[in-house]
Amino acid sequence: MSSNVNQLNIAEVPCSDAFNFKRSMLICSVPILFFLIESLRVNSFSSLALTIMHHFNINAYLYAKISSAYLWGNILFLVPFGILLDRFSSKSIICTAVLICISSNVALGLSRNYQQMLVFSFIAGVGASAGFILAAKLIKEWFPPRYLAFMVGILVSSAMVGGILAQTPVLYFIQYYSWRMLFFVLASLEILILIMSLILIKDNKNPKIKQPTKQSIFQTIKNFWGTIKCPVNWIGGLFASLMNLPVTLIGALWGQPYLQTVDNLSAATSSCIVSLMFIGVIIGSPLVGSFSDKFQSRKLFMILGAVASLILSLSIVYITINSTIILAIIFLLLGLASSVQSLGYTVVSENNPLHRIGVAMSFTGMIVMCGGALLQPYIGMLLDQNRLGAAENVLQYGAVDFQHAFTVFPISFTIALFLVLALWARDKRV
The pLDDT of residue 37 = 94
pLDDT band for position 95 (50/70/90)? very high
User: Is residue 1 very low, low, confident or very high in pLDDT (cuts 50, 70, 90)?
Assistant: very low
Which range in 248-262, 320-334, 350-364 is most confidently predicted, on average pLDDT? Answer: 320-334
Closest to 116 (Cα-Cα) out of 168, 55, 75, 169: 55
Fold of 20-207+225-426: Growth Hormone; Chain: A; (1.20.1250)
Bigger pLDDT: 171 vs 353: 171
At residue 145, the pLDDT reads 77
- State the CB neighbour count (10 A cutoff) for residue 359: 28
Instruction: Read off the pLDDT of residues 290-346 as tens digits, 9 standing for 90 and up.
Output: 888 787 788 889 999 999 999 999 998 888 888 899 999 999 999 999 989 888 888
User: What percent of the chain stands above pLDDT 90?
Assistant: 28
* pLDDT at 7 (0 to 100): 34
Percent of the chain with pLDDT over 70: 88
Residue 118: pLDDT above 90?
Answer: yes
- How would residue 206 be classed by pLDDT, with cut points 50, 70 and 90? low
Q: Looking at residue 116, what is its pLDDT?
A: 93
Q: What does the pLDDT read at residue 395?
A: 53
Query: Residue range 248-269: average pLDDT?
Result: 84
Q: What is the pLDDT of residue 222?
A: 80
Average pLDDT over residues 354-370: 79
What does the pLDDT read at residue 423? 76
Helix-helix angle 267-294:255-262, to 10 degrees: 130
Residue 9 backbone class (left: φ over 0; alpha: ψ -120 to 50; beta: rest): beta
Contacts (Cβ under 8 Å, ≥6 apart) of 116: 107
Q: How far apart are CA 139 and CA 24, in angstroms?
A: 8
pLDDT at 18: 53
Cα separation values, 177 from 8, 173, 185, 217, Å: 53, 6, 11, 49
Q: Can you tell me the distance from the alpha carbon of 99 to that of 187, in angstroms, rounded to the nearest whole number? A: 9
Average pLDDT over residues 196-213: 68
Looking at every residue in the chain, the average pLDDT score rounds to 82
Q: Which band of pLDDT confidence, cut at 50, 70 and 90, is reported for residue 115?
A: very high
Predicted local confidence at residue 210, as pLDDT: 52
CA distance 252 to 246: 9
Task: Output the pLDDT for position 371.
Answer: 87
Q: What is the pLDDT of residue 33?
A: 94
2, pLDDT greater than 50 = no
Whole-angstrom Cα distance, residue 411 to residue 109? 37
- For the chain, give every domain's residue range: 20-207+225-426
Instruction: Write the pLDDT tens digit of every residue in 383-415.
Output: 777 665 544 444 567 778 788 888 889 999 999
Predicted pLDDT of residue 238: 93
Q: What average pLDDT does this structure show over 418-426?
A: 80
pLDDT at 149: 72
What's the confidence (pLDDT) of residue 308?
A: 95
What's the pLDDT at 406? Answer: 87
39 neighbors 163 (Cβ within 8 angstroms) = yes
- Confidence check: pLDDT of 10 > 50: no
Average pLDDT over residues 65-74: 89
Q: How far is CA 259 from the centre of its chain?
A: 22
The pLDDT assigned to 215 comes to 60
Task: Point out the least confidently predicted range of 81-95, 109-123, 209-223, 308-322.
Answer: 209-223
Mean per-residue pLDDT for 140-154?
79
Q: Is the dihedral of CA 25, 296, 336, 340 positive or negative?
A: positive
- Cα dihedral 306, 310, 311, 316, rounded to 10, equals 140
Res 141 pLDDT > 90? no
pLDDT of residue 191: 96
Q: Which residues contact 50 (CB under 8 A, 6 or more apart)?
A: 257, 267, 395
**Distances, alpha carbon 315 to alpha carbons 336, 403, 406, in Å:** 16, 11, 11
Q: What is the pLDDT of residue 205?
A: 59
Question: What was the pLDDT predicted at 19?
Answer: 65
